[in-house]
Amino acid sequence: MNTSILYLLMAALPARVAPVTLYTNFQQTPPAALFASIQSELEVIMTPAGLHFDWHPLADAGGRISSQLAVIHFIGACDVAGLRPDTAYPGPLGWIHVTDGEILPFIDVNCDGLRLFLQHDLIASPAAGREEAFGRAVARVLAHELYHLLANTKAHRSSGVAKAAYSVGDLLSQTFQFDKRECASLRLRTVHLELQMPGEVSVPPQRR
Ligand SMILES: [Zn+2]
């Protein structure tokens, strides 16, 4: 879609859509301050796209209904304890699940991989800010995977949160955002879904 048409359509959209429900499943419970940092950074990234989130532990999913949801598995330890001054390339930091070409509402975030990737730089930063910085990094990986799910695309862009690979600098910088175009397409897609499905869906069956 032409970018100027996209922006024109954006102007006609409601300012705020119903929150997306996120069900979290942490392999290890994160420190409260780190979890708070994940939540606040995700809002910072997604608010320009008109998206907001309701967070619940996956264990509390029974009976809850929502128009859009995602189940997030956080793999390994989402914390900054026991970091080492080593550098490592950990492989993928997050991923979505696709079956028969369809993107499913399940997201994995590789906290252990993020620790390996960031520990050399995190350990060199003041201890007091490490949890917040690591929480921001986790949120950026999560925002990237939510982009795939909510915009229903496997494609990447050349810059911003929707790009294919992140540097340590992207993950630890003070701000890292979607480009305007991705913001617009996320918002359009979400409103479209809400208009299409004013009803509600419950949490999908667990895949594992
Ligand atoms: Zn991606």
How many separate helices (H) and strands (E) can be counted in the chain? 6, 7
Query: pLDDT (tens digit, 9 = 90+) per residue, 154-197?
Result: 999 999 999 999 999 999 999 999 999 998 888 888 777 666 65
3-state percent helix, strand, coil for the chain, nearest multiple of 5 = 40, 20, 40
Ligand 1 centre to CA of 70 (Å) is 16
Of 73, 70, 57, which Cα lies nearest the Cα of 22?
Answer: 70
Output the furthest CA–CA distance in the chain (Å, rounded): 50
pTM reported for the whole predicted model: 0.88
Cα–Cα distance, 207 to 5 (Å, whole number)? 39
Q: Please state the rounded mean pLDDT for residues 133-141.
A: 98
- 84, 95, 103, 104, 153 from 108: Cα distances, Å: 24, 5, 13, 11, 17
Q: Which two tokens stand for residue 73?
A: 């598995």
3-state secondary structure 74-140: EECCCCCCCCCCCCCCCCCCEEEEEECCEEEEEEEEEHHHHHHHHHHHHCCCCHHHHHHHHHHHHHH
Q: Please tell me the predicted confidence (pLDDT) of residue 207.
A: 46
Ligand 1 centre to CA of 105 (Å) is 14
Ligand 1 centre to CA of 163 (Å) is 7
Helix H or strand E segment including 159? none
Cα–Cα distance, 111 to 134 (Å, whole number)? 9
Helix H or strand E segment including 167? none
Ligand 1 centre to CA of 179 (Å) is 15
Cα–Cα distance, 13 to 104 (Å, whole number)? 26
Ligand 1 centre to CA of 46 (Å) is 16
All domains of the chain in start order, with CATH:
19-196 (3.40.390.10)
Ligand 1 centre to CA of 50 (Å) is 21
Query: pLDDT (tens digit, 9 = 90+) per residue, 13-49?
Result: 555 578 999 999 999 999 999 999 999 999 999 999 9
Ligand 1 centre to CA of 141 (Å) is 9
Query: pLDDT (tens digit, 9 = 90+) per residue, 69-128?
Result: 999 999 999 999 999 998 887 899 999 999 999 999 999 999 999 999 999 999 999 999
Query: pLDDT (tens digit, 9 = 90+) per residue, 41-75?
Result: 999 999 999 999 999 999 988 777 777 899 999 99
Of 43, 29, 25, which Cα lies nearest the Cα of 109?
Answer: 25
Cα–Cα distance, 58 to 64 (Å, whole number)? 11
Ligand 1 centre to CA of 34 (Å) is 23
Q: Give residue 129's region: left, alpha or beta (phi > 0; psi -120 to 50).
A: alpha
Ligand 1 centre to CA of 148 (Å) is 7
Question: 190: burial class by Cβ within 10 Å (0-12, 13-18, 19+)?
Answer: buried
Q: Which two tokens stand for residue 113?
A: 């991989």
